[in-house]
């Protein structure tokens, strides 16, 4: 897999100071977690599910989740399990897997991983792992044991992404104890935990809330507090990657607040039409939330529409300034530490406090590449949407 593989080589050469590297399914989880990027959820009942997976891969998605849980009605569960097995088996028949994204199945119950593997036989190798819903310290061991049982049958590693979204995490009096229990449990299975996902929709439902389209998840204080504690307990350096919660809007017929995108970055490139398309699809809100995700220690994003993918991925490209800062921090650390002015002459870089940040950023640079010195997010997004329109 390679980010921005669909761009013309000449465009990539112009956009990138350092192009994205090839990422392989067997790479270490700490690198693969960055490769998730915009993880697209697809309802398991989609008629042409296999074709959908191929289509979103062609548009740049490097990870997708086939959802057997909240995305489908209760009455469709039995059909959906067999349908997923049949559709994913079609993908297994394709020669090679270079054009496939990472494929995960979000199961609804602890018996579903084994049922899918049993129905698919050797074709179950096309599944890269499972998303484990409503994960808790109490029920988590059952899910993890079920996945381990599937590994024994198939003979390969399955990655897991537990979803933190239960009332125990939302209620103040039980949150810390629950998160500490989950941390201990995941430590026993660290080699198969790819990332921890945050189920913001379920979190909000605990308090009968839904985040409005004009606000980010960080404006909803009850959820923002829970997200901060998830990162604090589970996402410390040496812990697990925590992915950004779902962005669930994709059109904007009405708008209460002013747009959140300045005109000047688009005017410089004469890309006002691109800005208009972003605003029409509520993608200015997504842009702001992705930046806030990163500022709060999260990586990647759960999305529900293909138009979200190029936005998240363009924002994930490391700027030349950030890359230069990270290299400077690493070099200073190797030389014994200290503080220095950045080569861009606009900030202070401290070797020891900024070291963990630099290492994390360089992993993202491996996956998403480093922009050329004068290239901005707008340039990358414009090129990506020319090939995969919003």
Residue 368: inside a domain: no
In Å, how far from its chain's centre is CA 353? 26
DSSP string, 295-308: HTT-EEEEESSTTH
Are residues 190 and 332 located together in one domain of the fold? no
Task: Report pTM.
Answer: 0.91
Are residues 301 and 331 located together in one domain of the fold? no
Residue 16: inside a domain: no
Are residues 159 and 69 located together in one domain of the fold? yes
| 290, 316, 342 - which closes a domain | 316
CB count within 10 Å of CB 260 equals 16
Going residue by residue through the chain (390 aa), what tens digit of pLDDT does each one get?
A: 899 998 999 999 999 999 999 999 889 998 999 999 999 999 999 999 999 999 999 889 999 999 999 999 999 999 999 999 999 999 988 765 667 899 999 999 999 999 999 999 999 999 999 999 999 999 999 999 999 999 999 998 999 999 999 999 999 999 999 999 999 999 999 999 999 999 999 999 999 999 888 899 999 999 999 999 999 999 998 899 999 999 998 776 565 555 566 655 665 555 656 666 665 556 788 989 999 999 999 999 999 999 899 999 999 999 999 999 999 999 999 888 888 888 888 898 999 999 999 999 999 999 999 999 999 888 898 888 876 665
Are residues 127 and 141 located together in one domain of the fold? yes
Task: Quote the number of domains for the chain.
Answer: 2
Give residue 222's domain range: 22-316
């Amino acid at each position: 897999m390679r980010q921005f593989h669909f761009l013309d080589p000449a465009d990539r050469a112009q956009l990138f100071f350092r192009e994205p590297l090839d990422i392989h399914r067997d790479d270490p989880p700490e690198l693969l977690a960055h490769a998730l990027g915009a993880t697209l959820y697809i309802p398991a009942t989609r008629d042409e599910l296999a074709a959908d997976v191929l289509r979103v891969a062609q548009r740049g998605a490097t990870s997708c989740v086939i959802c057997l849980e909240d995305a489908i009605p209760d009455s469709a569960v039995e059909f959906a399990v067999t349908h997923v097995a049949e559709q994913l088996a079609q993908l297994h028949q394709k020669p090679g897997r270079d054009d496939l994204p990472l494929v995960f199945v979000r199961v609804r119950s602890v018996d579903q991983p084994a049922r899918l593997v049993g129905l698919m036989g050797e074709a179950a190798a096309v599944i890269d792992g499972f998303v484990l819903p409503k994960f808790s310290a109490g029920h988590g061991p059952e899910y993890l044991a079920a996945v381990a049982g599937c590994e024994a049958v198939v003979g390969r590693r399955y990655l897991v992404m537990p979803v933190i979204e239960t009332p125990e995490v939302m209620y103040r009096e039980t949150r810390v104890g629950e998160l500490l229990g989950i941390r201990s449990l995941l430590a026993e299975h660290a080699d198969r935990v790819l990332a921890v996902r945050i189920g913001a929709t379920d979190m909000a439902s605990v308090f009968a809330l839904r985040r409005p389209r004009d606000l980010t998840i960080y404006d909803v204080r009850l959820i923002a507090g829970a997200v901060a504690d998830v990162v604090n307990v589970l996402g410390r350096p040496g812990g697990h990657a925590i992915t950004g919660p779902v962005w669930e809007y994709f059109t904007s017929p009405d708008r209460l607040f002013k747009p959140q995108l300045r005109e000047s970055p688009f005017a410089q490139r004469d890309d006002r039409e691109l800005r208009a398309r972003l605003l029409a699809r509520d993608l200015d809100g997504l842009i702001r939330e992705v930046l806030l995700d990163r500022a709060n220690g999260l990586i990647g994003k759960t999305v529900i529409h293909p138009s979200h993918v190029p936005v998240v991925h363009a924002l994930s490209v490391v700027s030349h300034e950030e890359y230069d800062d990270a290299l400077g921090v690493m070099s200073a650390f190797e030389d014994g530490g200290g503080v220095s002015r950045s080569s861009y002459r606009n900030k202070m870089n401290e070797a020891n406090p900024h070291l963990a940040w630099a290492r994390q950023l360089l992993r993202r640079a491996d996956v998403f590449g480093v922009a050329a010195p004068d290239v901005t997010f707008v340039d990358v997004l414009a090129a990506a949407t020319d090939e995969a329109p919003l």
